[in-house]
Structure formats: C-alpha cells, structure tokens
Amino acid sequence: MQYTFGGTPSDVLTDDAGNVVPDYPVIVRVAGTGQQVSALYELDGAPISQLRSNPAGHDQPGAIRPFRTDDITEIEYEYTGTSGQPVRWYQAAREVPQEALSTARAAIPAPAVAGTAGDALLLGENGSPVWGRLTSGTVAPWAALEAATGPRWIAHRGGALLAPENSIEAMRMAAALNADAIEIDVYKVADGGLFVMHDTTVDRTSNLSGSTASLTTPAALRGRIDAGSWFANSWPSDLRIPLFSDVLAEVGNTIPIIVHCNNFGSGAVAVEEIRRQELDGSVLIMAWTEAELAAARAAGIPSLLLDTDGVLPDKTYAQLLATGTRYLGVDYSQTSNATIQAAAAAGLRVVVYTVNRRTHYAALPKDGSVWAVVSDDPWYVRGTGAMRTSSLFGAGTFFHGMVGIVDAGDYRGFFQTPAWFGLDASGTAMASNGGYVSCLQGYVGPLPETFTVDVDYVLDVTDYATASLHFTLTVDDQQYDEDATGTSARANGYNVLVRSNGTIDVYKNTGGVATNIGTVATAAITPGSAQHLRIRLTATQIIVTRTNIGGTNSVTVTDSTYRTGLYPHLGVRDTKTRWANLAVTA
C-alpha cells in the first residue's frame, strides 16, 4: 500500500486506536515536496523490541531488513556478526544459517533512536532507518478522494482537451493542475501486456494500425502517439504510448487513478500490476462488464460498473452493491436526474461522464447525488477559476474551454507562431459539415453584460467572395454549428460574419433560427493581410467595426435581446482564417 497527502518523512500510517496499520509495505510521499520514505516493516501494535538496539550478545551494529510473509507474522533483520559475516535473525531471535542469506540484499544500519509502542520502522530519505507514524491527516489517495467534498472532478483520459489523451504528458498535467483524479484506458495485448489506449484500433491516435488487442508489448513500445496530426499541429508526433506500469510509476502515488479496463482479461492484469507496485489504495477499476471487475473485487480494490443510462438491465442497485461494487458510471446525456438520484439514494457513488460544457454540468442534480464528474477539461467545467480577459494563443496549444463542435470530430484548429490560432475549412476541409467549423473560447466566458472584444485576424485562404469568418456569441457555452439546424446546434445569441468581399453581416439566433439584423458593405479583404475587428455590446446596441480601414467600416444594430451569460466562439465557412490578441474589456 502506498500513502500520500500529508505527514513528514518520519511518519507511518496508524489506525484510529493509534496502532500501526499492518499493510506491508508502506511508502509515504510527503505532499507538496515529493519526499519519500519507506516502511521496512509493520506489525499489529508495538515494534519488535530486538530491533531497537544491537542484538543481545553481539558487539556489532545491527542491520535491519524486511521479511515478508503472507500473514505478516515474522520480521527479520540482518547484522554483521563478530566474524564479519552477515547473520539473519527473526522475531523469535533464532539464528538462520548463513547459507540461507541472500547476498543480493544490502545491510541497513540500525536506527540511532529507539521507537515507542505503535511505531513502525521507516527507511528515511537519506537511507537511514527511523521510527515513526503518519499524522491523522495522512490517508491513501483513494481514501482522500472519498473524504473530499463532492462532486469530485476527474480528468478524462488525463485531460483530453488540454493534452493528448492517455499520454504521460496528460497524466503529468492533470497531477500538476491538481485534478481530483485522472481516468485512463487500458487494453490487454496479445502477449499479456497492458498498455494505455482508448480505441479498439490504434489508428486514430498513433502511427500504428490495426486492432489494439492484437498488438504486442514490443509493438506498442515501438509505436508513437501521433499528437501533431490529430490533437494539435504544435504538438510532437513522437510521444510514447505508455504502458500501464509507466502511468502507475509516474503518477501512481500522487493522484487517484480510475483504470478503464477495455477488453477481456485487462481487469485481472491491471490488478496484478497495481498490487505489484503496491498501489491498491490509489486506484479504482472501471469496466462495462462485471467480469472485468472480478479481480478488483477479490483484491478489495474499489470497482465501478459503467451503464449508459444508469438503469441496470439484470440486477438492482442493492444487488450491485452486494457484489462489492460501490460505484456506477453513467452518461450525462443518456441518464435522467431521477435515475442519478435513485442510484445515489440506494448507496451507490454515481460518476457522471463525459461533461465538457458548463451548460451540461449546470443541468445535473446539485443535491449531492453526483459523486464525481468526468471531464476532458474539469478545470474549465467546474467554473471555479476567474474568467480571463485575453487569449493565450502564444502558448501554442489549447487552453481551458476551447471545445469544438461534434461534427468536426477531434478537429479544433491549429496554431502558428508567434501567437496565432486558426481554423481551416477551405477547399474540401470540413466538406462533410458544409465547409463550416467553430471552436468555443470558453476561457473568456461568461462575458459581462456590456463589453468590447478586440481581435486581430487574417483570412489566408478564401474559396469565394462571400466565404467568411465568424465571431459568435451564444447564451451559455453550448456548441454552435452554423451548418446544423435546431436549438441543440444553434444556441441563442448573435453571429457576426465578416466575408472576404468585405461585407459584415450580423445575425440573431433564436430557437435555432438565424435572422439577419444588420449588414454593411466594407472594403474587400486581401487574403493574407492582417486585419482588426472590434465588437462592442452596449445595453441596447451591437457595434461591429473593422478598425484598420478607412471609409465605411462599421455597422450598428439596435437589439438588447441577449446580454446575460454570453460565450464567444470563433468559426469559419470555406476559409482558412487565424486570430491573435483576442482581448475583452468591460
């Protein structure tokens, strides 16, 4: 078992009665410092008295080592005897023949200070053994998650909107940004290994091809996550595809991990690796079938059953709990609030996935029945951070709240130095969606009721004279898909189009229907030339201005329908356009 979240390098876990918890061995990682200490042994209650000083009758300092048995009933130590040879002693102080000793073990000097009842022996940061116990605030990562105030926020695939999904980089980011937990996907491959991948095939996210389960461990290791092609052009395409053991070693004792076991046998292999790395207290096993949860249940590791709508087809909630599974994962878009509340009332911890918009989170119950929320960008969706007033395109990667539309698949745009973000729907790009694509800029939302937005832009490629860039303002952060119809695709708000021939059109969207409420003809835009756009909302008007040109350059519309809770989106139709220096002033 490994523990984290508090304590000092001289601490070791104790129970409520002050006794050392007999769960061997323990690694204590001091929160916020990365310092680590290891328990050499633990036993119910008081430490072994012989180990507090030199063994009786011998004149050389003792050397302590652990001796692990299934029931943790014996402790051994080594010391250098008078003959200069290592000698092993057991709790009962009986000597073991030297030929039984392992020459591979190094001796460790006895602790300089004696322990007290209830202590356990720890290996300190500098290699010196010490006696100690953990403070009452120190718990295992999953126990800490249980004790946290809900809802907990879980970074889906490590935080897939901010870093390439299921990569070590995503795991590091989620831990660094203090996600409550991370979720990863694992597959058992043909040679019995376990590696991290979401899809049934490896084609979408890697430079390999074919069935995920048909790979071997060496094949997974030779492959690479091709992040530059599908995530963002600014990311490298040679990130390693991590083995499951890599993720555990990297972040296993720093953050709780939900392990989604995707194919037959992956659950048992995952549990085996978790126990090998002694991380039972850091993880939860998740699967669509109870067969993949069996090994976790047997090992006492928390387990979660996925069920899209939360209405179990073959058992009651009480029966699921009776199997040892206490967690239920449901799709927010397929599950009713009443079902979530009923499952929680039955005693299940309901985990809702995959929530990427604040609007969708706002519609979930707030009565405590949602135990945790899984999101590709939990830092944005939870909405606890301050709204930004400017873009960070110069960082060269996606920031919080940059969510794409469903019809664009994984595509959300590209980055270009020094500080440009762009979208490409020219030629045949996005032909399946009528040549339209957009991306929410949620980090600057919700906007104040009156504001001014300034942004530089360049139309690099335009397919025809009326091809356009879009600056869309929607009520709440729902998706805006100009090529689709209905309220689920066209949220209420305003849409400003700047066409390559210079025409500016302002539309109002109500109930999924767009109505033109203002238009003006300005000078045509030269492809590749830098331009500037200013959009101002007063209490009664919308004023759109191309500030960098002379002559007619502005349109003013009188309309006050939408002012509260607006979010901006950048979009294009049949153009390749980029933006920079987006800034909001009240």
- 299-315 residue pLDDT tens: 999 999 999 999 999 99
**Which one has a higher pLDDT value, 455 or 104?**
455
At 126 the pLDDT is 57
pLDDT-wise least confident of 58-67, 265-274, 304-313: 58-67
Q: Binning pLDDT at 50, 70 and 90, where does residue 62 land?
A: very low
- Is the pTM of the predicted complex or chain greater than 0.85? no
Residue 419 class from Cβ within 10 Å (0-12 exposed, 13-18 middle, 19+ buried)? middle
**Residue 277, pLDDT score:** 85
CA atoms within 13 A on the CB side of 218: 0
Rounded Cα distance, 576 and 569, in Å: 16
Alpha helices by DSSP H, listed for 277-394, are: 294-299, 317-322, 337-345, 358-362, 378-381
At 287, which helix (H) or strand (E)? strand 283-287
**DSSP H or E stretch at residue 276:** helix 266-276
Say how far apart CA 201 and CA 219 lie, in whole Å.
Answer: 13
User: Taking 80 as the threshold, does the pLDDT of residue 28 lie above it?
Assistant: no
Report yes or no: 379 and 400 within 8 Å, Cβ to Cβ: yes
In eight-state DSSP terms, residue 295 is H
Average pLDDT over residues 444-472: 98
**Six token digits for residue 331:** 């799709």
d(CA 446, CA 565): 5
- Binning the chain into helix, strand and coil, the percentages to the nearest 5 are 20, 35, 50
Please count the other Cβ atoms lying within 10 Å of the Cβ belonging to residue 92: 8
DSSP 67-111: ---TT----EEEEE-TTSSEEEEETT--EE-GGGS-TTSPP-BPP
Residue ranges of E strands in 2-66: 2-3, 27-29, 36-41, 62-64
> pLDDT tens digits for 567-581?
999 999 999 999 999
Q: 266: number of CA atoms within 13 Å, CB side?
A: 28
What are the tens digits of pLDDT across the range 177-218?
A: 999 999 999 999 999 999 999 999 999 999 999 999 999 999
Specify the residue for token string 């009713």.
336
Give CA–CA dist 524/462, Å, rounded. 12
